[in-house]
Amino acid sequence: MSTTGTARVEDAYDKSARKYNAAMFNPIGKQLVDLLRLQEGENVLDLGCGRGACLFPAAEAVGPAGRVLGVDLSAEMVKLCAADVEEYGFGDRAAVRQGDVQEFSSDEQFDAISAGMVLFLLPDPAAGLRNIAQALKPGGRFAATTFPTQDGRLAAGWESAEIIGEVLGGYIPAGIDNPWVPVLGVGTALANAETTADAVRAAGFSEVEISSIDAVSHFDSVDAYIKWTWNITTRMLWDLVPADRVEEATSEARERLQVIAGPDGAVDFICPTRTVLAVR
Q: Is the C-alpha dihedral spanning 236, 194, 152, 162 positive or negative?
A: negative
**What amino acid is encoded at 33 in this protein?**
V
pTM for this structure? 0.90
Nearest C-alpha neighbor of 185 from the set 160, 161, 149, 214: 149
Nearest C-alpha neighbor of 142 from the set 45, 277, 275, 28: 277
For the chain, what percent of residues have pLDDT higher than 90? 63
Least confident of 98-107, 152-161, 208-217: 152-161
* Per-residue pLDDT reduced to its tens digit, 242-260: 999 999 999 999 999 999 8
For the chain, give the DSSP string: --HHHHHHHHHHHHHHGGGTTTTTHHHHHHHHHHHHT--TT-EEEEET-TTTTTHHHHHHHH-TTSEEEEEES-HHHHHHHHHHHHHTT-TTTEEEEE--TTT---SS-EEEEEEET-GGGSS-HHHHHHHHHHTEEEEEEEEEEE--EETTEEPTT-HHHHHHHHHHHTTSPTTS--THHHHTTTTSTTSSHHHHHHHHHHTT-EEEEEEEEEEEEEESSHHHHHHHHTTSTTHHHHTTS-GGGHHHHHHHHHHHGGGG--TTS-EEEEEEEEEEEEE-
**What amino acid is encoded at 79 in this protein?**
K
Nearest C-alpha neighbor of 162 from the set 191, 145, 184, 141: 184
* Per-residue pLDDT reduced to its tens digit, 204-227: 998 999 998 887 788 999 999 999
pLDDT of residue 182: 72
Least confident of 45-59, 85-99, 170-184, 215-229: 170-184
pLDDT of residue 2: 45
Region 167-176: mean pLDDT is 93
Give dist(CA 76, CA 266) in Å, integer.
Answer: 31
Average pLDDT of the residues of the chain: 89
* Confidence bin at 5 (pLDDT 50/70/90): low
Q: How many CB atoms lie within 10 A of CB 139?
A: 9
Q: How many CB atoms lie within 10 A of CB 79?
A: 15
Angstrom CA distances, 222 to 76, 156, 170, 178, 226, stand at: 28, 18, 20, 24, 6
